[in-house]
């Protein structure tokens, strides 16, 4: 097969794909409200939560009412452990998140579209800056997410809850086992470049 036939096939594939689907690329910025949770056999402590940020990019492929969306996000996560002894520890770490989302267009008012979204979010620890021992952090963990997005011509507004499936931190010794998990409520806006 010569180069001209390959080129013709590629062009035909691109045109046929865009005829039935639409692709959006965008840059995203948002805020996270952290819900840190814990389980412990014997320790007595509570957690304070914090507002942090996320930033990254997204790609969305739409086919009729369904869309598939992938994102690459840098996310900040924080909190504070309040112990019964009065010794507090700061939680401060950063993750690279890769949300994989499927959505459904619920309302279409031409200029404004409302979509329901759900999916899974693998998170990879990339920086640990707080008072907790770096060795006790897990390299990765997962979350499940659900939310609503609102589309207008150039922007995408998103609210989602990201519930922890796994723990990001675990300490185990002779006396007790303590695990920490992190869920997020996120509000974000994306600028659709395409």
Q: Which residues of 45-69 are buried (b: 16+ CB within 10 A; e: fewer)?
A: eebebbebebebebebebeeeebeb
Per the listing, tokens 């409200």 go with 33
Would you state the structure tokens that stand for residue 20, as one six-digit string?
């039935």
Class of 22-192 in CATH: mainly beta
* Per-residue pLDDT at 110: 87
pLDDT tens-digit profile of 109-128?
Answer: 989 999 999 999 999 999 99
- Round to whole Å and give the CA distance between 189 and 58: 11
Q: Where are the domains of the chain?
A: 22-192
- Round to whole Å and give the CA distance between 114 and 105: 6
**pLDDT less than 50: residues of the chain:** 18-20
- Round to whole Å and give the CA distance between 171 and 131: 14
Q: Identify how many contiguous H helices and E strands the chain contains and give both numbers.
A: 1, 11
* Per-residue pLDDT at 25: 95
Please name the residues in contact with 134: beta carbons below 8 A apart, sequence gap of 6 or more.
128
C-alpha distance from residue 104 to each of 38, 107, 117, 161, 180 (Å): 34, 9, 7, 17, 33
Element (H, E) at 12: helix 3-20
Q: Which residues, listed in sequence order, are joined to residue 69 by a DSSP beta bridge?
A: 60, 101
CB-count exposure of residue 3 (10 Å: 0-12, 13-18, 19+)? exposed
Number of other CB atoms surrounding residue 99 within 10 Å: 22
């Amino acid at each position: 097969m010569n180069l001209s036939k390959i080129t013709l096939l590629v062009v035909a594939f691109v045109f046929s794909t865009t005829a039935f689907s639409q692709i959006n690329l965008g840059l995203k910025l948002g805020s996270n409200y952290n819900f840190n949770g814990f389980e412990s056999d014997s320790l007595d402590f509570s957690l304070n939560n914090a507002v942090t940020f996320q930033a990254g990019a997204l790609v969305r492929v739409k086919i009729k009412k369904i869309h598939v969306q992938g994102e690459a996000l840098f996310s900040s996560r924080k909190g504070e452990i309040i112990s019964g002894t009065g010794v507090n520890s700061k939680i401060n770490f950063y993750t690279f998140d890769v949300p994989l989302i499927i959505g459904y267009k619920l309302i279409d008012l031409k200029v404004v579209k409302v979509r329901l979204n759900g999916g899974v979010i693998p998170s990879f620890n990339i920086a640990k800056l707080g008072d907790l021992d770096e060795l006790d952090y897990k390299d990765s963990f997962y979350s499940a997410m659900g939310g609503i997005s609102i589309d207008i011509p150039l922007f995408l507004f998103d609210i989602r809850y990201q519930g922890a499936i796994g723990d990001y931190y675990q300490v185990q010794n002779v006396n007790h086992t303590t695990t920490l998990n992190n869920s997020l409520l996120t509000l974000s806006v994306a600028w659709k470049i395409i």
